[in-house]
Amino acid sequence: MLFDIRPPKLNPINRRDDVVSTYDFSKNTPDVNDEGKKIVLKVTKSSLGQFGFCEQQYFLKYRLGIKEPQNDDMLRGTNVHDAYEYFLDRGFDINKAWALKDNEGYEGVNNYFQSLIPESQISKGWDDEYAKPTGNPYTLGEREHLSRLMKAEAARFMGSEAGHFKPLGNEITIDALVDFDINGESVTVHLQGIIDRLFIDQNGVTHVHELKTGKWMDKESKLENMRKEMAFYVYLLRKSDDPLYGGMNVKYWGWDHTAGFFSDKNQAHPDQNQIYRFVEEVRTESIQHMLTDLKALISAHLQSDGTGNYYAVKPYGAEKYICEPFCRMRGYCSKYNRHLMPHDLKDKIGWKQGR
């Protein structure tokens, strides 16, 4: 497998000309760059999730910039996201949908939505010249994913109020600069996220929603991980100074999994007839858990000298249950063949001999 190595760079930040951010941040990072701009740590939902999954893999992907080639799952996800984004922004005539709702009900709306599924991949770049099918056919089951999604969206349309079916924000990039207290030291961090959908109802209640193309696994760990992903977005919106979306106090979050879900824990196959859609009120404890993870990531950067010495794989059993099934970076990982043992944790958790 070929990997592309793209070392992290200094990234500009929207609405801030005096600050740049980077994933390659350590105790040796200069305070300012050659142009006199302050250098801060960059954190995204994905980078934070990667750090929680495996700190060593985080170091390889984000600090060194080792990029794995796009696999089928990644490409399918990109194609489904682009098609649905295009559907919401350009694809359908809402007046026609309202007329179908009144005259033909759900079947008419669903048939209309299904007819708008693109025949081929949508090009990215939402101006009239480029936002159109490319002619490259779908080959990874994208139409099946989109068909299930459209069924769910037709049902949502039937229960929606006028003017509130379409999201307030569709694939929006949000930035925030936040100061964190890390062991008495104030550290400025650049938080950035691309929020799939931001909805607001007739009462002004806001909701963030995520689109996934995998299967939903009915596990408590999966549920908590998803909650922490959504918590990142909620916190980001609260802290952002974005003129349109900054300062929002989101009340609900949720997510779709278009590959279906395991409808019974004893079954070995997912329900392929419908998406898994989950919605709940924002959970304060999940935001606190996310912030604990975020502060752990910042602390690791503050301790690191940039060489990866403070990063390690998961504890006992990692190779069999985590590395082998999930990690594509094993060939780069200096700690792949060595389990994390108690003496490796000494500096991280204050372990002492005889404790």
- 25/15 Cα distance (integer angstroms): 22
Instruction: Encode burial over 10-22: b for 16+ CB neighbours within 10 A, e otherwise.
Output: beebeebeebbbb
Residue 32 has what DSSP assignment? Answer: B
CA–CA gap between residue 25 and residue 298 (Å, rounded): 9
Is 205:137 a contact under the CB 8 Å cutoff?
no
- Residue 270: its pLDDT value, please? 57
> Looking at residue 141, what is its pLDDT?
95
Q: DSSP of 194-248, one letter per residue?
A: EEEEEEE-TT--EEEEEEE-SPBP--HHHHHHHHHHHHHHHHHHHH---TTTTT-
Q: Is 186 helix (H, G, I), strand (E, B) or coil?
A: strand
Helix-then-strand count for the chain, H and E:
11, 12
Topology, domain 4-69+169-303:
Lambda Exonuclease; Chain A (3.90.320)
Question: Which residue's entry shows tokens 């094993």?
Answer: 330
Domain ranges of the chain: 4-69+169-303, 72-158, 318-349
Within 10 angstroms of residue 242's Cβ, the number of other Cβ atoms is: 19
- The 10s digit of each residue's pLDDT in 121-140 is 988 765 655 566 677 899 99
> Cα(209)–Cα(339) distance, rounded to whole angstroms?
37
Which strand (E) or helix (H) includes residue 181? strand 169-182
For residue 347, the model assigns a pLDDT of 46
Q: Where does residue 249 rank: exposed (0-12), middle (13-18), buried (19+ CB within 10 A)? A: exposed
Q: CB-hemisphere CA count at 13 Å for 118?
A: 26
Instruction: Give dist(CA 226, CA 232) in Å, integer.
Output: 10
Report residues of the chain scoring pLDDT below 70. Answer: 1-2, 125-133, 263-272, 313-314, 338-355
Alpha helix segments (H runs only) across the chain: 45-53, 55-58, 72-86, 94-103, 105-115, 142-158, 220-239, 284-303, 318, 324-326, 346-349
- Please identify which residue in the block is written with the tokens 């960059």: 42
CB-based contact 189:40 (threshold 8 Å):
yes
CA distance 103 to 284: 43
**How does pLDDT run across 74-116, given as a tens digit for each residue?**
999 999 999 999 999 887 899 999 999 999 999 999 999 999 9
Q: Which two tokens stand for residue 191?
A: 């938080």
